[in-house]
């Protein structure tokens, strides 16, 4: 991005035309939708209503972190607590594409409700280029249905996407220009922890992956802070579907396995698995199996690049 100022000026201009009345902005707290929301409020002020949905699939402390981020950006927003609706929608669903479709449907219903409340018919999203490229369309094969693009169910709302031609590094340049804090914040998928739990989603399985994920984030952040590691692009935990044998005391127990994934990337189109120091992996493994004692008995590290693997497991 050579000219973030020029991009912002033309995006704001276009949004003034595209948002003639009240609009909802789907704000996840991620960098893309935060920038989209900042641009929309710059363009039309209070007519742009940023809506943050607590799906129940958020990371530890996320609601508070996002509220703090929005405050720092001067973004006014509405928090919609919808955990029970999302868990209900996913009951018994194991297929990742079906999970994304159902989550997409729940999001859209919540946004439609909010739009009805403010009397608007526009929905602003922070979709960026890799989202729609990987969701298929035109001659491209569908790699996966991103919940915010290919997975979007029919809606009467008109979708407005001010960032759809940008790649992640360009969004970050715009964020820096706009003074949005922490532009190095790692990407987090819209469907959240639901796609970091392989197979069926339950409150307990989400709790387990949330605890494991918080440990991965804390330990990697600590190592980055101590200068032992450059800040990776993404670092997270995945709860596997298969059960595995472990020992606690004298007993053999069946428990879960957690995969730790730490990748370097510039635009998420390709990625390299990072060579995390063995001592750090050991610390992460010890903490996960201790803090989820009896529930998680095995920790694995994913050494696969993208391609052939994707960054997420689902
Ligand atoms: P993959 O797993 O396809 O991920 O290599 C590429 C980037 O996209 C993020 N991701 C998603 N983001 N909805 C999103 O908003 C999704 O359904 C989704 N799936 C993957 C992923 O975290 C990575 O940064």
CB 32 near ligand 1, within 6 Å: no
User: CA of 124: how far to CAs of 19, 26, 34, 167, in Å?
Assistant: 9, 6, 11, 18
Q: Average model confidence (pLDDT) for the chain?
A: 92
pLDDT tier at 144, thresholds 50, 70, 90 = low
- Which H or E run contains 178? helix 168-178
pLDDT band at 150 (very low <50, low <70, confident <90, very high): very low
> How confident is the model at residue 153, as a pLDDT?
77
pLDDT of residue 139 exceeding 60, the answer is: no
According to the model, what pLDDT value does residue 190 have?
A: 86
> What would the mean pLDDT of 265-278 be, rounded to a whole number?
94
Q: What percent of the chain has pLDDT over 70?
A: 93
Q: Would you state the pLDDT for residue 105?
A: 94
Digit-coded pLDDT (tens) for 155-203? 999 999 999 999 988 998 999 999 998 656 788 988 999 999 999 999 9
Q: Which of 183, 176, 162 is nearest to 40 (CA)?
A: 162
Res. 278: pLDDT tops 90: yes
Q: Which residues pair with 254 in a beta bridge?
A: 245
Q: Cα dist. 72→35, 51, 168, 180 in Å?
A: 13, 16, 21, 8
Beta bridge partners of 23: 48, 122
Q: Which of 33, 146, 233 for mutating ligand 1's site (highest number of atoms within 8 Å of CB)?
A: 146
Q: How far is the CA of 167 from the centre of ligand 1 (A)?
A: 13
Query: Does residue 49 line the site of ligand 1, with CB under 6 A?
Result: no
Q: Does pLDDT of 15 surpass 80? A: yes
pLDDT value at position 145? 53
Instruction: Give the model's confidence band at 141: pLDDT under 50 very low, under 70 low, under 90 confident, else very high.
Output: very low
Give pLDDT tens digits for 241-266.
999 999 988 899 999 999 999 999 98
Q: Is the CB of 29 under 6 A from ligand 1?
A: no
User: How many angstroms does the Cα of residue 299 sit away from the middle of ligand 1?
Assistant: 22
Q: What is the pLDDT of residue 182?
A: 65
**Which one is predicted more confidently, 242 or 143?**
242
Ligand 1 contact via 26 beta carbon (within 6 Å): no
Atom of ligand 1 nearest to the CA of 271: 5
Position 142 pLDDT exceeds 70 = no
- Shortest-distance atom of ligand 1 to CA 265: 24
Enumerate residues 6+ apart whose C-beta is below 8 A from 243.
254, 255, 256, 257
Asked whether 298 lines ligand 1 (CB < 6 A), one says: no
- Name the residue of 100, 150, 189 whose CB sits within 8 Å of the most ligand 1 atoms, as the mutation to test its pocket: 189
| Residues 75-131: tens digit of each pLDDT | 999 999 999 999 999 999 999 999 999 999 999 999 999 999 999 999 999 999 987
Cβ-contact 174, 8 below 8 angstroms: yes
pLDDT at 146 over 60: no
Please compute the mean of the pLDDT values over residues 140-151 and round it to a whole number: 48
- How many DSSP H helices and E strands does the chain contain? 9, 9
Q: How far apart are CA 181 and CA 72, in angstroms?
A: 7
State in Å: Cα 134 to ligand 1 middle.
9
Q: Ligand 1: which residue has its CA nearest to atom 4?
A: 311
How do residues 284-298 score in pLDDT, each as one tens digit? 999 999 999 999 999
pTM score, whole prediction: 0.89
């Amino acid at each position: 991005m050579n000219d973030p100022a020029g991009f912002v000026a033309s995006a704001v201009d276009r949004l003034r035309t595209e948002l003639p009345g009240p609009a909802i902005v789907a704000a996840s707290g991620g960098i893309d939708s935060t920038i989209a929301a900042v641009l929309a409020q710059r363009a039309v002020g209070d007519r742009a209503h940023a809506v943050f949905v607590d799906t129940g699939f958020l990371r530890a402390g996320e609601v508070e972190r996002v509220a703090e981020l929005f405050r720092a950006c001067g973004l006014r927003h509405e928090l919609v607590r919808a955990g029970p609706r999302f868990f209900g929608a996913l009951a018994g669903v194991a297929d990742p594409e079906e999970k994304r479709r159902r989550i997409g449907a729940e999001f859209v219903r919540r946004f439609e409700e909010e739009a009805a409340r403010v009397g608007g018919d526009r929905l602003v999203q922070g979709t960026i280029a890799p989202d729609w490229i990987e969701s298929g369309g035109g001659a491209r094969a569908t790699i996966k249905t991103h919940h915010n693009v290919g997975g979007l169910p029919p809606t009467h709302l008109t979708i407005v996407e001010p960032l759809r031609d940008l790649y992640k590094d360009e969004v970050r340049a715009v964020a820096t220009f706009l003074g949005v804090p922490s532009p190095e914040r790692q990407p987090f998928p819209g469907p959240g922890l639901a796609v970091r739990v392989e197979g069926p989603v339950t409150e307990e399985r989400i709790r387990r992956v949330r605890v494991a994920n918080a440990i991965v984030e804390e330990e990697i952040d600590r190592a980055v802070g101590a200068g032992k590691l450059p800040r990776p692009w993404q670092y997270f935990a995945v709860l596997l579907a298969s059960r595995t044998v472990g020992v606690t005391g004298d007993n053999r127990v069946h428990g879960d396995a957690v995969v730790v994934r730490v990748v370097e990337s510039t635009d998420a189109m390709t990625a390299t698995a990072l060579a995390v120091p063995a001592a750090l992996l050991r610390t992460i493994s010890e903490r996960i199996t201790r803090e989820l004692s009896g529930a998680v008995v095995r920790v694995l590290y994913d050494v696969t690049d993208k391609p052939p693997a994707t960054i997420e497991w689902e």
